[in-house]
Chains A and B, each alone.
Chain A
Amino acid sequence: MKGESRRPLVALTAENIGHGDQVVLSGLTLALYPGENIALLGPSGAGKSTLLATLRQRLGAQAAWCPQQHGLVPQLAVYHNVYMGRLAEHSALANLWNLVRPLPAPWRQVSELCASLGLADLLRRPVSQLSGGQRQRVAIARALYQQRPLFLGDEPVASVDPYQALRLLALIAARHSGAVVALHQRELALSHFDRVWGLRDGRLVIDAPVHDLDLTDLDALYPDADAAAPRGPW
Chain B
Amino acid sequence: MSASPVVRRRPGWLAGQGSSARLARHSLTLVALAVILVPFADLAILTRDPWGELGRMARGLAWPDWGAVSSPLEALGLTVAVALWGTLGGLTLGFPLALLFARSRLVRAGCAFVRAIHELFWALLFLQVFGLSAATALMALAIPYAGIFAKVYAEILEQIPAAPRDALPHGAGRLSRFVYAELPLAWARLAAYTRYRFECGLRASVLLGFVGLPTLGFQLETAFREGRYHEAGALLWLFYLLIATLPWWGQRRLMPLLAVGGALLLGPWPAVNGGLLWRFVSEDIWPRALLAGDWQGLAEWLARIPELGPAIGNTLLLGLLGSVGALLVALLLWPLACRHFGNPVTRLAGRGVLIFLRSTPELMLAFFFLLLLGPSLLPAWLALALHNGALIAFLVARHADAITPGMPGINASGRLAYELLPRLYPGMLALLYYRAEVILRETAILGMLGVATLGYYIDENFEYLLFDVAFFLLLVTAALNIAVDALSRRLRPRETAIVDDPCQG
Residues of A within 8 A of B (CB): 60-61, 65, 67, 69-76, 80, 84-88, 90-92, 95-96, 99, 139, 142, 146
Contacts and interface: CB of A to CB of B under 8 A. Distances in A.
A88 B169 contact: yes
9 contacts: A60-B170, A61-B169, A69-B163, A71-B163, A84-B180, A87-B168, A87-B172, A88-B173, A96-B175
Contacts of B164: 71-73
B339 interface: no
B166 interface: yes
B11 interface: no
* Max chain B C-beta neighbours (<10 A), residue from A73, A74, A85: A73
B179 to A, nearest CB: 6
B238 to A, nearest CB: 38
Contacts of B169: 61, 65, 85-88, 146
Interface in B150-178: 163-164, 166-173, 175-177
* Max chain A C-beta neighbours (<10 A), residue from B169, B172, B173: B169
What are the nearest 4 A-B pairs in CB distance? A71-B167, A88-B171, A75-B184, A71-B163
Nearest to B177: A87
A99 B179 contact: yes
A84 B171 contact: no
A85 B170 CA distance: 10
B162 to A, nearest CB: 9
Contacts of B181: 73, 84
Contacts of A75: 184-185, 187-188
Contacts of A139: 167
Given A67-B163, A73-B185, A99-B179, 6 more contacts: A61-B169, A87-B177, A88-B173, A91-B173, A92-B175, A146-B169
B103 to A, nearest CB: 20
A71 B168 CA distance: 9
A92 B178 CA distance: 10
* Max chain B C-beta neighbours (<10 A), residue from A65, A75, A76, A87: A87
Contacts of B180: 73, 76, 80, 84, 87, 95, 99
Contacts of A142: 167
Interface residues of B, number: 20
Contacts of A72: 164, 167
A67 B167 contact: yes
Contacts of A84: 167-168, 180-181
Contact of A71 (B166, B173, B179): B166
Nearest to A95: B176
A60 to B, nearest CB: 7
Nearest to B176: A95
Nearest to A91: B173
A67 B184 contact: no
A159 to B, nearest CB: 15
Nearest to A69: B163
A152 to B, nearest CB: 11
Given A75-B185, A87-B177, A61 B167 contact: no
Contacts of B185: 73-75
Nearest to B167: A71
Contacts of A87: 168-169, 172, 176-177, 180
A61 B170 CA distance: 8
Nearest to A80: B180
A90 B180 CA distance: 13
Interface string B419-442: 000000000000000000000000
Contacts of A146: 169
Contact of B173 (A67, A85, A92): A92
Nearest to A99: B179
Nearest to B173: A92
Contacts of B168: 84, 87-88
Contacts of B166: 67, 71
Nearest to B162: A71
Given A65-B167, A87-B168, A146-B169, A76 B184 contact: yes
B346 to A, nearest CB: 40
A88 B170 contact: yes
B172 to A, nearest CB: 4
A67 B167 CA distance: 6
A76 B186 CA distance: 12
B135 to A, nearest CB: 33
B293 to A, nearest CB: 50
Contacts of A73: 164, 180-181, 184-185
A60 B169 CA distance: 9
Contacts of A71: 163-164, 166-167
Nearest to A84: B180
Contacts of B167: 65, 67, 70-72, 84, 139, 142
B184 A92 contact: no
A216 to B, nearest CB: 36
Contacts of A65: 167, 169
Contacts of A67: 163, 166-167
A60 B171 CA distance: 10
A90 B171 CA distance: 10
A71 B188 CA distance: 18
Interface string B178-202: 0111001101100000000000000
A122 to B, nearest CB: 17
Contacts of B171: 61, 88
Contacts of B163: 67, 69-71
A6 B176 CA distance: 39
B170 to A, nearest CB: 7
A129 to B, nearest CB: 14
A80 B180 CA distance: 8
A139 B168 CA distance: 11
Contacts of A92: 173, 175-176
B161 to A, nearest CB: 8
A87 B178 CA distance: 11
A50 B419 CA distance: 43
Nearest to A63: B169
Contacts of B172: 87-88
A80 B57 CA distance: 60
A84 B180 CA distance: 7
B240 to A, nearest CB: 35
* Max chain A C-beta neighbours (<10 A), residue from B171, B175, B176, B184: B176
